Each structure stands twice: as structure tokens, then as C-alpha cells.
Structure 1
Amino acid sequence: MINKVSFKEKIGYGFGDAASSMFYKLFTTFLIFFYTDVFGISAAAAGTMILITRFWDALNDLIMGAIADRTKTKWGQFRPYLLWFSVPFAIIGVLTFTTPGFAENGKLIYAYVSYSLMMMIYTVVNVPYSSLIGVITSDSVQRTSLASYRYAFAFGGGILVQATLLKMAGVLGGDNEQLGWQMAVGIFGVLSVVFFLLTFFLTRERVKPLKQEKSSIKEDLKDLLHNKQWFILLAVGVFTVIFNQLREGAAVYYLKYYFGEQELMLFGNVWHLDYKALTGILVPVWTGANILGVFMATWMAKTLGKKKAYMVFMIISLVASLLYYPISPNDIYMLLLLQVVVGIAAGLPIPLMLAMFGDIADYSEWKSGRRATGLIFSSISMSQKLGSTLGIALTGYILASVGYSPNNVTAESQTGIRFMMSVVPAVAAGLSVVFLLVYKLNESYMKKVKDELNERINKV
């Protein structure tokens, strides 16, 4: 049975990831920079803190997915979490970007506590939100369309943060940079509450499990851990996120310490741009190009199939990423072109990943006779967190290994920053392609799975 989804509901679903993505981009693009250049702790300490807190939190995603699967309210299984936890999400988000008046050790403890709480509340909201696509509709094409809307809105929220944060913090805080960051994040927090509530009110849950028999979390986890295709797709997702995270985390450093101040000719005028202005232009260009890739996803999935389309564009991402190393710091236009090319290529796989986890949910039900939508879709958040964790930690460790010191960058540090922006992400992209080669759930295989599931439904 195909559950058609209205344009209004697709828009409503998209708002949820606009909310999540504003904070996700705060973490992926600015967090390590905030900790080293604003908050006041070392790159290595920040990297270790993020590695420890987020690895533990990534495991919580599976638990949260299982809990969400067992939630039963008049609003459904997954939507209520957007209503219940949107305000705590915003409050803790602001606290994460608040700088206390402590010495470095005290600041580090505060960072551990605030960031751990933020990741926990992010899990509580985002795992049910990610699972929602699996119960809005059962149709793979409709899910791909929903995924495209989701990530278009996600990138919209990300662009808003990337384009405005540094300048907004400067305006709101004046000479007090730490206050400026706190106030700017507060504005994004208010917006996130509004967006989560819009998703709650504009979406509906329709797809019910094939069988209403009760199963334990232990049984669901056993099914998952015996699902080889889940492990393969999880690895693909982790390395894809590492690719994106390394580039986003390195971008501010790359622009500040390699490109520096630039003069850009636009519309007959010469614009003098510092690193904040460059970040506000070039990083959103990458994210905006992601949106083009996202909207190509449905067409490419129909033309090549999800697996082949994913592989092609990750290979393009790999090759283009390598070009960031030899580029001259005076060639701002080549950098702009690369941002567009890599942005489009890296954007297309993201909604495909969401739709492919939908296939994993169907495949798991086909094999076991039990459906665990929340548990399966929690893997998306899990792969994001594992990939983002490794990417951010690598950023911190690479900076530390090349002797990075804020506002006092040596030639060695500059080379490390360039390497971090180009070669290391390319390796991650290559590894995602390797795992895709052994992933077997292509369109013909999934047609067999869906046909047999529909036969079971008709018999019931």
C-alpha cells in the first residue's frame, strides 16, 4: 500500500531538520573553533572531550530508538518527542555555547558536562524525528522525496547558521566575543523550538507494524546485530559523515589561516573580506550546493539506483576534495568553484542514505517478521554522531600534532590545515565507496523484499 504524502506534510517534516541542523552545523562547522579560539581550551583537549562524550552518546541512539518504538500516545510513537523536548533542546544548546568564568580545567569540566547533556537531548529529539519518515509512508519513492525535503530544509538551517553566526556574534557581543556567541546561539535556539513544533503539528504517523506482537529490546538488538547489510550501510554512513565533518571543521581554520584577507571583485566593486566574511560566504556556498545535490537525489535514484548514484558522487567528492591542497591562497574563484562542485557531489548521497535505511527496515522485517523502525532509523543518528565524532576529534588531533596555536600559525600548522581540508576527507570518501561495493540491497533485491512483505500484509 502506497501512502501518498502532501506537499504541506513534506514541508512540515522538513522544518524538523531545519531545527536540528542549525545546532548540528554549530557543532560540525564551529564547535572546535569555538573551543580553541573563543572558549579557551586546547585543540587536543577539545578533541578528546568530543571523542569521549560522543562515542558514548552514539550508543545511546540505539537505546533511544528502541524506547521510541515502544512509545504509544494519542499523537503516535515519534511525534510526541518533538513536543516534549523542543524547549530543553534550545536551553541546553545555549548553555553549550556559554563560556563560564573558570580557569582552563574548570572550563574543560564545564564543556564535558554541557556538551554531554546537549548530545543526550539531541538524541532524544533527533532519533524519533529520523524514525518518523518510516511511519509517514511505506513507499520508497515517497520516502526519498521526503528525505529530499528533509535535507533541503536541513541545509537551509545550516546555511542560516554558517552565513550569520560569526558576524552576528560580533554585532551582539561587541568587544565581548563570548557574550556574542551566547546571544547568537540563543536566537537559533528560539527558532529551533518553533520549527520542531511545526513538524509536530503538520505531520502524521500512518504505517503500522505488520504484527502487533510484543518483542523485547534484546530481541530487536539481536535482529539488528545479525543484519550484515545494516553494518555495511552504517560504515558507509560513518565515512560519509567523516568526509563532510573534516571539511566543515577545517573550513574556518583554512579560510582564516591559509586564505586570510581577500579582495573580491563583484558587480564592479572591490570587496575587502576578512575570514569571518569569507566563512559567511564560502561555507554557505558549499551548503547551498548541497541542496542542489539533494534535489537531484530522487531523479538519480530512479535513473541509476540509490547504490550506484551514491558511489558515483562520492567518487566525484573524493577527486574534487584533493584539489583543495594545491590551490593558491590567492585563487578565491577556484575555491568558490570547488565549493560548488564538492557541495553538489556531497549533497546527493545524504537523502539517499535516509532512503537506504528505510530499505534496511523493510529488509529486517522481511527476515525476522518484526519491525523496529525506531531502532533501525536511530542508526542514522548513530552514524552521524560516530562520523562527526571521529571527524571533529581528528580535527583537534591534527591541529595539535602540527603545533596549532590560535592567531600564531606556523608554516607547519598551515600545511596541516591544508592536509586536513583535502587529503584526509578524500580518504574517508574512498572508504565509503569500498563499503558500498559489498552492499547488496539494490533496487531489484528490494523489489523482491517489498513484494513479499505486501503479500504478508494482504494475507493478514
Structure 2
Amino acid sequence: MTRAPLSEKIGYGLGDMSSSMFWKIFSYYLPFFYSNIFGLGLEHAAVLLLVTKLWDAVSDPMMGLLADRTRSRWGRYRPYLLWMALPFAAAGILTFTTPAWGETGKLVWAYSTYLLMMTVYTAINVPYGAMLGVVTDDSRERTVFSSYRMFFAYGGSFLALALFEPLCNLFTGRDSGGAARGWFWAMVVIAAICAGLFLLCFRLTRERVVPAEDATPGGRSVARDLRALAANGPWWLLLGVAVAALLFNSIRGGAAAYFFKDYVGTDNALGGSMILTCGAFLAVGEVANMAGVVLAVPLSRRLGKRMTYLWAMVVSGLLSAAFFFVPATTAGCWTMVALQVVVSAAAGVTFPLLWSMFADVADYSELRHGHGSTGLIFSSSSMAQKFGGAFGSALILWLLASYGYDTTAGAAQNGQAILGLRMLMSWLPAAGCALAAVLVVLYPLGERRMREIGEKLALRRAVEQ
């Protein structure tokens, strides 16, 4: 079994720290940016988010196939961290740029820049994710790597969420018409940090495992890889789990800005001079996510990955549903904080396990088909993120529009719109948890099965070398 030093695990974590800073800002603030800062209507913004993320999801398998076939002195997947770090930052800045154009021009700009952003995100994040399959061949060690990844990811999310609103306010200044400028410069700061983190990830990591090559005359083909993927039952189940889990996260996170603006408000939300803002609420969740990641390894060693994931989803779903009954009072706001801590900690347990299970699925594919198609399989997890995020973000805006949500500055929302906000923070995310729990019950690659697969692959790789 291949082991790696602590510095490499930290370095690997820095990559998802960068990705998560962008992902959380785009998931939680971009719908609000497009509708309330950039100036798009709710319906236009909903279609934009859906179309661009669906394209991004479709592009993920293409990137996975490309990465699987890349050969360089740095490996198959790692060089993309070097090549795409600066384009990644530049695309993020362009997305949060507001040109002084008319409605049609703004719509074209929004589609162009967000499509570019999602394409570059795919080009760096799919190879980064696939690296988990080649940094070690030990299934338990992968869970450790994945835990470092998610710990730093939540740390990055906390940093981004804690900084973004203050940066927006700082750069907006006293000019009430300068909100667009404030959001742009806030993104410049975040983007510079993200580019640096990916370059550090490249510097500190290495690819240690060389997957078995296809010995078929003529080599591997895209068609064979896709047929093997289509026949991979555990992959289909994890794909559904990932989509459901991302629906849960993207709906809760994306609705929070609206929920706090129009339901919680800002008047003595926690009593006295203490105010519960959207940024503080989300940042508390990221800290709790990090605590959950720390628990993932000991819990999974005791209960197994599958059962740990199942119980964490059950807890997240039940407590998310409880949000519906919490009033917008001082006591209610403290209850929201308490629920956010437990829900987020439970959710934090699940994500390192999910990535580790995708690496196990790649080993299962290598044993069954003679090649792991690691990049293609990990691209499917990224694809699931995009599908979940796309439908989650679009669903938020469509539901708000159907409930009569008014985007006019200072507008008071009607009772139906408030009901919609409460549903978006409670029952709809809980439904995503329920679906994920049902699917993970059916997932067949438990601890004993993965030990058998690991032993057989070790023998095969030893013979081929």
C-alpha cells in the first residue's frame, strides 16, 4: 500500500480550499448578484444558471477522458493545476464584472463569462479530483486524503464567506451606486488567493500510483471507457447520491441571502447589538463542516463509509426540516444557529466519504475492466455537483418568481414569498437528504469488498510492473 507524507496531504487539501472558495461564492451569492446587483430578471437569471451549469456538467466527462489520456513529466492530472490556475482566477473576476450595457448586452456578457468560468472550473477541478485515485492505492488512506481535502475546503469556504461581504462593503464605500464595483474588487481579492492556492497544491503533491493500462490491441478507446462506465452499478448509485447531496447544499446555501434579507431581517436578530447576518450564518456552517470532516475518519473506521454516510444524511435531513418551524425572533435566531451547527457538522461528515467512495469505484472498475478510467469516474462526481447546483440554483429563482418575490430595492415581500423562502431553507433540502440516504443504502462496495479488491489489484499491478 502506498503512503504519503503529511505535507502532501496538506498540499492536496489546498487545491479544494481554492475550488471551494469559488464554489461557495458562486453557489451562495451569484443568484443574488445576478438578480439584485447585475440587473437580470429572476426568470433570465434562473435560465442562465441552469444552462451554464448543465453545459459544465456535460463538459466534465470530456475533461475526464482528456485527463486520463494526458502524459507529462508531472503525471496525468497534476499538470492541470499549473496550467489552469491563472485562467481560473481571471474567469472568476470576469463573471463578477458588471458592464454598463443594456439588458441584451448584459445577458450576452453574463452567459459568455459564466460559461467561460464553468469551463475553466472543469478544466482544473476534474483533474484535481482524479488525483485522489493516484496519490495512494490504500482505500483507508484515501479517506484520510479526502478528509484533508474537505477540511481545507470548508476552511476555504469559511474564509471566502467571512471575507466576501466585508470586502464588498469596503470597496463599495459610501457610494450607493457602487455596489457593482464593490462586488468586482471583492472578487479580485478572492481570485488572487485561489490562484495561489492551486499553485501551492501543484508544488506540494505528486502522483504515486500508475493505474493498469489496457492491454487490448489498439489500446483504450473512448467508446470502451464509456461502456465500462455505463455498466458500473456502484457508479450510478454514487452519481445519484452526489446529485441529491448537492441539491441539499445548493438550495440551502443559495436561498440563505434571500432568507436573511426578507425573513430574518437585521433588527436585533440575536438581541442587543448582536446581529445574525447571512455571512455569519454561512460562516458558522463552514466551521461546523470542518468539525464534521474531522469526525469522518474515526466514524467511518468504526461504522464503515456507507453506514456513516447514511446516518449523517438522516440527521441533516431531519434537522433541515425543523428549520420550517423556527420563527424570526431572537430565540428563533439562536435556534437557527444551533440547527446550522448540527446540520453542517453532519453534512461535513459525508463529503470526504463520498470522494473516497468514488476512488473505490475507480478501483472496482480497474479490477473488472482492466483500467480504472479514474479521470472519467471523478469527472462524474464533478458532473453531479454541477447538475445538483444547476437545478438547485434555478429552482430557487423559479420558486421565488412563482411565489411573487419582488426584487425591487426595499420592497416588502408578501406572505407567499416568505412561505417560499421558509420552504427553500427546510423541506426542499430535506428531500435531497432523503433521496441520498435511500441510494446509499443500495451502494454495494463496503469495507470487506474493498479489501478484496485492493488485494487483487495489488497483485495485478505487481505482475504488470
TM over 0.5, shorter chain: yes
Structure 2 contact 64–126 (Cα < 8 Å) conserved: yes
1:45 maps to 44
> d(CA) in 2 for partners of 1:437 and 1:194?
40
Deviation for aligned residue 1:459? 3.3
1:137 maps to 136
1:82 maps to 81
Deviation for aligned residue 1:441? 1.1
1:191 maps to 193
Task: Decide which of 225, 228, 234 is 1:229's aligned counterpart.
Answer: 234
> d(CA) in 1 for partners of 2:208 and 2:169?
46
| Percentage identity across paired residues of the two chains | 41
Whichever residue aligns with residue 61 of structure 1, its letter is: D
> d(CA) in 2 for partners of 1:264 and 1:47?
30
> d(CA) in 2 for partners of 1:448 and 1:98?
52
Q: Does 1:447 align with 2:446?
A: no
1:457 maps to 461
The one-character-per-residue Cα deviations of 1:55-92 (angstroms, maximum 9, x if unpaired) are 12201111101100111111111111111111111111
Structure 2 unmatched ranges of 5 or more: none
- Equivalent positions of 1:40-79 (< 5 A) are 40-79=39-78
Whichever residue aligns with residue 206 of structure 2, its letter is: R
Instruction: Count residues with an aligned counterpart.
Output: 453
Structure 1 contact 65–127 (Cα < 8 Å) conserved: yes
Bigger shift: 445-454 or 182-191?
A: 445-454
The one-character-per-residue Cα deviations of 1:154-182 (angstroms, maximum 9, x if unpaired) are 11111111112122111112220000000
Change in Cα spacing, 1:458 to 1:80, as seen in structure 2 (3 Å) is closer
Structure 2 contact 85–195 (Cα < 8 Å) conserved: yes
> d(CA) in 1 for partners of 2:384 and 2:159?
24
Q: Does 1:178 align with 2:213?
A: no
Task: Decide which of 264, 268, 273 is 1:271's aligned counterpart.
Answer: 273
1:390 maps to 391
1:100 maps to 99
1:340 maps to 341
Deviation for aligned residue 1:264? 6.0
> d(CA) in 1 for partners of 2:454 and 2:358?
14
1:206 maps to 208
The DSSP-based 3-state class of the residue aligned with 1:242 is helix
Deviation for aligned residue 1:265? 6.3
- Equivalent positions of 1:416-455 (< 5 A) are 416-455=420-459
Structure 2 contact 2–137 (Cα < 8 Å) conserved: yes
Question: Normalised by the size of structure 1, how large is the TM-score?
Answer: 0.96
- Equivalent positions of 1:247-262 (< 5 A) are 247-262=252-267
Structure 1 contact 89–121 (Cα < 8 Å) conserved: yes
Whichever residue aligns with residue 418 of structure 2, its letter is: Q
Structure 1 contact 4–137 (Cα < 8 Å) conserved: yes
Whichever residue aligns with residue 194 of structure 2, its letter is: S
The DSSP-based 3-state class of the residue aligned with 1:33 is helix
The one-character-per-residue Cα deviations of 1:378-425 (angstroms, maximum 9, x if unpaired) are 112111111111111111111111111124221111110111110111
Structure 1 contact 261–272 (Cα < 8 Å) conserved: no
> d(CA) in 2 for partners of 1:289 and 1:272?
20
The DSSP-based 3-state class of the residue aligned with 2:306 is helix
Deviation for aligned residue 1:272? 4.8
> d(CA) in 1 for partners of 2:267 and 2:74?
53
Structure 1 contact 162–279 (Cα < 8 Å) conserved: no
> d(CA) in 2 for partners of 1:56 and 1:192?
23
> d(CA) in 1 for partners of 2:192 and 2:25?
15
Structure 1 contact 262–272 (Cα < 8 Å) conserved: no
> d(CA) in 2 for partners of 1:46 and 1:255?
20
> d(CA) in 2 for partners of 1:29 and 1:211?
41
The DSSP-based 3-state class of the residue aligned with 1:370 is coil
Deviation for aligned residue 1:103? 1.9
Deviation for aligned residue 1:212? 5.7
> d(CA) in 2 for partners of 1:272 and 1:177?
25
- Equivalent positions of 1:399-414 (< 5 A) are 399-406=400-407, 407-408=410-411, 409-414=413-418
2:28 maps to 29
1:305 maps to 304
> d(CA) in 2 for partners of 1:212 and 1:79?
21
Whichever residue aligns with residue 131 of structure 2, its letter is: L
Deviation for aligned residue 1:244? 0.6
The DSSP-based 3-state class of the residue aligned with 1:348 is helix
Whichever residue aligns with residue 226 of structure 2, its letter is: L
The DSSP-based 3-state class of the residue aligned with 2:100 is coil
The one-character-per-residue Cα deviations of 1:286-335 (angstroms, maximum 9, x if unpaired) are 11101111111111111111111101010001100011111010121111
> d(CA) in 1 for partners of 2:131 and 2:381?
12
Structure 2 contact 289–344 (Cα < 8 Å) conserved: yes
> d(CA) in 2 for partners of 1:356 and 1:256?
38
- Equivalent positions of 1:286-297 (< 5 A) are 286-297=285-296
Question: Normalised by the size of structure 2, how large is the TM-score?
Answer: 0.95
Structure 2 contact 315–343 (Cα < 8 Å) conserved: yes
